[in-house]
Structure 1
Amino acid sequence: MTWVLVVVLAVVAFIGIAFVLKAPRSGWEAIAAALVLGIAGYASQASPGLPAAPKAASEQVSKDAAAMVDARGKVSDSSLPPSDRWVVIADGLARNGRYGDAAEVLRGAVNADPKNTEAWLAMGNALVSHADGLLTPAALYAFRKAALSDPDAPGPPFFLGLAFAQSGRYAEARQLWSDLLERAPEDAPWRAPLADQLSKLEAFLAGQSGGQGPSSGQSTP
């Protein structure tokens, strides 16, 4: 009976997400994969016949996964939470290290609304994380679409700069962050984190060049 209940709950969850919440068809496969993975995890780990034994939860996912999602929420010009439910679903997948599935859900979101800046930005971050920190052409495209959708939003240049830095393209990261800092309002909540990132990058570049500031054309330390 336990297995019947598990399968029924999974089917109900899929129907609710796909038809009640009207998930885009391009995201159905990722949603189904997440549910199947949950059932597989239950099959391999669960022992419903054993008595309960409370235990402190252990960390299963790198803190960096959730940190990137949280950071995107902080580096924002809006005080409102994301209104796009598919971004929320994708964030949940990304928090658990399911970056490829998150990007697939976000693809459905941008197909439905090509000017969804938040979805494009989340997709760029997911694709970079999926590539272990490498800025792929697909991720670069997503960041640029996010910037075009909302030229005044601080998120796209902030996270594209972070991706540049992770990929060794330090001069491009510094330029993006310097330009963003120059136009940042004094009371912007993301100004201090941006200034801190820029300061660390400039200190790193200065150390690599023997204490001399990096030349304007330098792209690697």
Structure 2
Amino acid sequence: MMGWVIVITLALLLLAAMLLIGRLPRTAWEMTAAALLLGLAGYAWQGNPALRGSPRVAEKAVVPFDEDMAKQRRGLADRYGPAAQWLVMSDGYGRRGQTKEAANVLLSGLKQTPGDANLWLGIGNALVAHGGGMLSPGADYAYRQAARLAPEAPAPRYFYGLALAQAGQLQAARDQWAPLAASAPDDSEIKGQLEANIARIDAMLSGRGPVLQ
């Protein structure tokens, strides 16, 4: 935990220095933040701050690819826009358990089109998969970027809420899902799923339900 605190503090100090001392123009703020995200993602991939300094031989864990989640993303997000080719390539790596490569493909896409909400959503999902279900600071930032770039789209809020719920942040997940469920068409599948998930969260928050899966 301390490792994350240190690296995030350094990133914020660097950003502050560029803004206050380097007088970075406002038009470059988004690209600068994206560059810092890449640095944080690289830190997450290359090291584990919770490990001691003595060397260890790590076992490679194979993370199963979630076909259902990929299908949901394709149903909620843009399947035919500029991001589609990057998402298809990323899914291919994910199916082979190559979560780092799956995220790297999307980072390459972001370098070309940093304003694409679908790519930000994809990198959020990819970072969560790479972290074994953990909602890292990089993944959290990616979901927020996707929601900012596409405030009316359901996919960023749906998957951000899912990641929050899996991370145990139930109230935050409910806050993402409740407005989305209210605005969804009455006969839509997504509305039923959201209402069921919200009911489970309410039961858990009141101590009456099992842990959300």
TM-score, length of structure 2 as denominator length: 0.62
Equivalents in 2 of 1:156, 1:106: separation in Å?
16
SS for the counterpart of 1:173 is: helix
AA matched with 2:129: S
* RMSD (CA atoms): 2.4
Q: Rg bigger for which structure?
A: 1
Cα shift at 1:199:
2.1
Cα shift at 1:153:
0.8
| Residues 128, 134 of structure 2: 8 Å contact kept | yes
Name the structure 2 match of 1:166.
Answer: 166
Name the structure 2 match of 1:181.
Answer: 181
Equivalents in 2 of 1:66, 1:88: separation in Å?
12
Name the structure 1 match of 2:95.
Answer: 95
Structure 1 residue 86 corresponds to structure 2 residue 48: no
> Larger deviation: 188-197 or 141-150?
188-197
Name the structure 1 match of 2:74.
Answer: 73
Equivalents in 2 of 1:117, 1:69: separation in Å?
16
Equivalence map 1:136-215=2 (5 Å): 136-206=136-206, 208=207
Structure 2: runs of 5+ lacking an equivalent: 1-61
* Overall identity of the aligned pairs, in %: 36
| Residues 63, 130 of structure 2: 8 Å contact kept | no
Cα shift at 1:129:
1.2
Cα shift at 1:88:
0.9
Equivalents in 1 of 2:96, 2:205: separation in Å?
33
Greater relative contact order (Cα < 8 A, sep 6+): 1
CA separation of 1:124/1:61 partners in 2, compared to 1, >3 Å: closer, same or farther? closer
| Residues 161, 173 of structure 1: 8 Å contact kept | yes
Equivalents in 1 of 2:152, 2:107: separation in Å?
23
Equivalents in 2 of 1:125, 1:88: separation in Å?
13
Cα shift at 1:65:
2.5
Cα displacement string for residues 181-206 of structure 1 (whole angstroms, at most 9, x for unaligned residues): 12223344422222222222222223
- Deviating above 6 A after TM superposition, structure 1's stretches of 4 or more consecutive aligned residues are none
Equivalents in 2 of 1:75, 1:203: separation in Å?
27
| Residues 69, 95 of structure 1: 8 Å contact kept | no
TM-score, length of structure 1 as denominator length: 0.60
Equivalents in 2 of 1:202, 1:74: separation in Å?
27
Name the structure 1 match of 2:130.
Answer: 130
SS for the counterpart of 2:97 is: coil
Cα shift at 1:61:
6.9
Equivalents in 2 of 1:169, 1:72: separation in Å?
21
Equivalents in 1 of 2:69, 2:98: separation in Å?
13
Equivalence map 1:45-60=2 (5 Å): none
Equivalents in 1 of 2:108, 2:188: separation in Å?
31
Cα displacement string for residues 20-68 of structure 1 (whole angstroms, at most 9, x for unaligned residues): xxxxxxxxxxxxxxxxxxxxxxxxxxxxxxxxxxxxxxxx973x52222
